[in-house]
Chains A and B, each alone.
Chain A
């Protein structure tokens, strides 16, 4: 940068009034001050997260166990999607800095081009976060299970597809012999939560009983997250043994043996606070991204209208740029401390 920022000015002039000791405009300085305070807010959130994590170290979920899915592709991609989101946000930060650079050359077309790219990147990120929230809330097909000895385990592996329910005992709605093919997973999970499932027979909403036709589960693995009488935290159980223990718990006829997905009270991934921090930290960040996109759009309209060109400088683009980079900066830390370590 040329100009006042790099020019040598003696101290008495600098602090003697009339000129800014920081050699920067009022607006830019205030944006920086806002960002410092916002950074402290995020710092406080991440520190609260760190504290809670350290006081429940053993029960805390591991990022790559929780976030291992990709849209359209299913499971088995540890952290790949979050990394992609991080990359999208970094790229949109790059396009923003290119917009600022174009502004410094008074290149209106360049500013428009790069700002549009930034806004598209921002929408991609917000969309990805919406997908991830939805995935987090709905959870896995297995859920978290409380085993017969009182221990709790998360489950990995491939859930065998449910083909249909064949009614063997009529209820108020379904007749005997009817084959149900819709909404199977949903009804299955409901029955599991209510403890209304036993040895391949499900009790449906209307009281009818149906036989479940389901493919075998594959590569099932139980990872113990809470001590029970026999299973201790950190133990991993594979294959047939795991299937036996999982279905033993499900067929026990007791409700609330399995938790699917997440809400603010409980989640299948780890302690209650884990879900709360996930919603609050990524939500607060997502809200920042969303408002960043809106602000970018407003400034883009100003650029298109030629407001800043008439003014003789594109400092407004620079100021929203600062905010946008800050949002990227926060995500870099969230990515590391929430997902990676």
Chain B
């Protein structure tokens, strides 16, 4: 049933054959990038062991690479990068605020509890 008071946004997503070609090229590029990142992570993990002096650098690069991967998945695969700015913010900002806060709590409290347990010889 056609309704003239509702805009059918679903139809906006259609694109032509030529546009599709460009999009597919972009998808394969992102695929290559994600694959390379995963391979780099495994190699780093295989050759640099925890506890060595450069481990902290490796650890933080793991976290940075993860965020890069996540950004590509969300912005490119999930097309959030193509949505309106206001929608991007509505989805991402609450999440970042909550998670940043919780990470702060986990680090301060977790390390503190570890200290307490250690100093009591548990």
**Measuring CB to CB, which residues of chain A are less than 8 angstroms from any residue of chain B?**
1-6, 18-25, 28-29, 32, 36, 39-40, 43-44, 47-48, 50-57, 62-64, 78-80, 83, 86-87, 90-91, 93-94, 96-98, 101-102, 104-106, 234, 312-313, 315, 318, 321-322, 325-326, 328-329, 332-333, 335-336, 340-341
A98 to chain B, nearest CB (A): 6
Q: Are B103 and A313 in contact (CB under 8 A)?
A: no
- Majority SS of interface residues in chain A? helix
Q: Are A56 and B10 in contact (CB under 8 A)?
A: no
Binary contact track B3-24/A, C-beta < 8 Å → 1, others 0? 0010111111111110110011
Q: Are A3 and B45 in contact (CB under 8 A)?
A: no
Q: Is B91 an interface residue (CB 8 A)?
A: yes
A236 to chain B, nearest CB (A): 11
Q: In the bound complex, how far is the Cα of B45 from the Cα of A18, in angstroms?
A: 53
Q: In the bound complex, how far is the Cα of B31 from the Cα of A46, in angstroms?
A: 26
Chain A residues with CB under 8 Å of B87's CB are 22-24, 29, 32
What are the nearest 10 A-B pairs in CB distance?
A3-B12, A54-B110, A55-B113, A315-B10, A22-B87, A336-B66, A313-B10, A51-B106, A25-B9, A83-B42
Between-chain CB contacts (< 8 Å), 10 pairs: A4-B9, A25-B8, A47-B103, A48-B106, A51-B110, A55-B111, A55-B114, A64-B46, A98-B27, A104-B14
Q: Are B73 and A93 in contact (CB under 8 A)?
A: yes
Q: Are B15 and A51 in contact (CB under 8 A)?
A: no
Q: Is B107 an interface residue (CB 8 A)?
A: yes
Chain B residues with CB under 8 Å of A57's CB are 114
Further 4 A-B residue pairs, CB within 8 A, beyond A40-B99, A87-B35: A18-B7, A28-B9, A55-B113, A90-B38
Give the residue of A1, A2, A326, A328 whose beta carbon is less than 8 angstroms from that of B79.
A1
Q: In the bound complex, how far is the Cα of B74 from the Cα of A39, in angstroms?
A: 12
Q: Are B38 and A87 in contact (CB under 8 A)?
A: yes
A79 to chain B, nearest CB (A): 5
A17 to chain B, nearest CB (A): 10
Q: Which residue of B lies closest to A96 (CB)?
A: B77
Q: Are A341 and B7 in contact (CB under 8 A)?
A: no
B52 to chain A, nearest CB (A): 12
Q: Are A101 and B23 in contact (CB under 8 A)?
A: yes
Give the residue of B5, B9, B39, B94 whose beta carbon is less than 8 angstroms from that of A18.
B5
Q: In the bound complex, how far is the Cα of B66 from the Cα of A106, in angstroms?
A: 34
Q: Is B86 an interface residue (CB 8 A)?
A: yes
Q: Given A39-B95, A40-B95, A341-B62, is A105 in contact with B14 using a C-beta cutoff of 8 Å?
A: yes
Interface size class of chain B, counting residues whose CB lies under 8 Å from the partner chain: 35 or more
Chain B residues with CB under 8 Å of A315's CB are 10, 13
Q: Which residue of A lies closest to B114 (CB)?
A: A55
Q: In the bound complex, how far is the Cα of B16 from the Cα of A106, in angstroms?
A: 9
Q: In the bound complex, how far is the Cα of B84 from the Cα of A62, in angstroms?
A: 42
Q: List which B90-113 residues lie within 8 A (CB) of chain A.
A: 90-91, 94-95, 98-99, 102-103, 105-107, 109-111, 113
Chain B residues with CB under 8 Å of A32's CB are 87, 91
Q: Are A101 and B102 in contact (CB under 8 A)?
A: no
Q: Given A104-B20, A341-B59, is A3 in contact with B73 using a C-beta cutoff of 8 Å?
A: no
Q: In the bound complex, how far is the Cα of B90 from the Cα of A256, in angstroms?
A: 54
Q: Are B98 and A40 in contact (CB under 8 A)?
A: yes
Q: Are B35 and A313 in contact (CB under 8 A)?
A: no
Q: In the bound complex, how far is the Cα of B82 from the Cα of A3, in angstroms?
A: 11
B49 to chain A, nearest CB (A): 8
Q: Given A50-B110, A54-B110, A336-B66, is A23 in contact with B14 using a C-beta cutoff of 8 Å?
A: no
B91 to chain A, nearest CB (A): 6
A290 to chain B, nearest CB (A): 20
Binary contact track B25-58/A, C-beta < 8 Å → 1, others 0? 0011011001100110110011001110000000
Q: Given A32-B91, A55-B113, is A333 in contact with B102 using a C-beta cutoff of 8 Å?
A: no
